[in-house]
């Protein structure tokens, strides 16, 4: 088993899966193209070395068929792993979306609270201004009474 990092955690990965992934990667590489080309050229040149054409074609056909079967299996294993990985990403996205929705609700609640506080402050301010105005009127009335008494 080898360790790989998945979702920020080290995960043990079976060697057979690593082997299949490495084979699949190699098959899609330039070096694989070169190796296969050399193999086919060598196989067909065996005819010039005296090996019967039927025998060369039979062996080549068998090898190519087996290779195709194994490649299909390796590729399917890789596809399955990628599908599992995508499912993990989808789960992460769902969790993030839920978190975003919760945060949005919290923001809405905080905005409402801020509006309520502002309204309360404005009401309090208005009431304070009314009190001050009433006190000023009373002070003016008292001043006028005092003037009247002084005359």
Q: Are the beta carbons of 38 and 54 closer than 8 angstroms?
A: no
Question: Among residues 18, 36, 28, which one has the least CA distance to residue 78?
Answer: 18
pLDDT of residue 68: 92
Angle subtended by helix axes 15-27 and 53-150, to nearest 10: 100
CA diameter of the chain: 146
Per-residue pLDDT reduced to its tens digit, 39-83: 999 999 999 999 999 999 999 999 999 999 998 998 888 888 889
For the ranges 91-100, 104-113, 131-140, the lowest mean pLDDT is seen at: 131-140
Q: Which region holds residue 7: left if phi is over 0, alpha if psi is between -120 and 50, else beta?
A: left
Tell me how crowded residue 87 is: count the other CB atoms within 10 A of its CB.
10
Distance (Å, rounded) from C-alpha 13 to C-alpha 7? Answer: 14
Higher pLDDT, 130 or 22: 22
Per-residue pLDDT reduced to its tens digit, 7-20: 555 556 677 778 87
pLDDT of residue 2: 47
Q: What are the backbone dihedrals phi and psi of residue 5, each rounded to the nearest 5 degrees, phi first?
A: -100, 120
Distance (Å, rounded) from C-alpha 73 to C-alpha 71? Answer: 5
For the ranges 36-40, 60-64, 101-105, the lowest mean pLDDT is seen at: 101-105
Q: What is the CA radius of gyration of the chain?
A: 42
Tell the residue number behind the tokens 């070169």, with chain if given.
Answer: 34
Residue 129 corresponds to which tokens in the numbers above? 């201004």
């Amino acid at each position: 088993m080898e360790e790989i990092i998945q979702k920020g955690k080290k995960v043990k990965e079976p060697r057979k899966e690593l082997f299949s992934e490495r084979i699949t990667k190699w098959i899609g590489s330039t070096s694989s193209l070169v190796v296969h080309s050399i193999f086919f050229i060598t196989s067909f040149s065996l005819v010039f070395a005296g090996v019967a054409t039927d025998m060369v074609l039979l062996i080549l056909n068998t090898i190519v068929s087996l290779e195709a079967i194994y490649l299909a299996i390796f590729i399917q294993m890789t596809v399955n792993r990628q599908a599992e990985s995508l499912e993990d990403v989808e789960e992460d996205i769902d969790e993030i979306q839920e978190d975003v929705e919760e945060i949005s609700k919290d923001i809405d609640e905080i905005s409402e609270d801020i509006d309520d506080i502002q309204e309360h402050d404005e009401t309090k301010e208005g009431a304070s201004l009314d009190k001050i105005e009433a006190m000023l009127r009373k002070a003016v009335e008292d001043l006028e009474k005092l003037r009247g008494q002084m005359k």
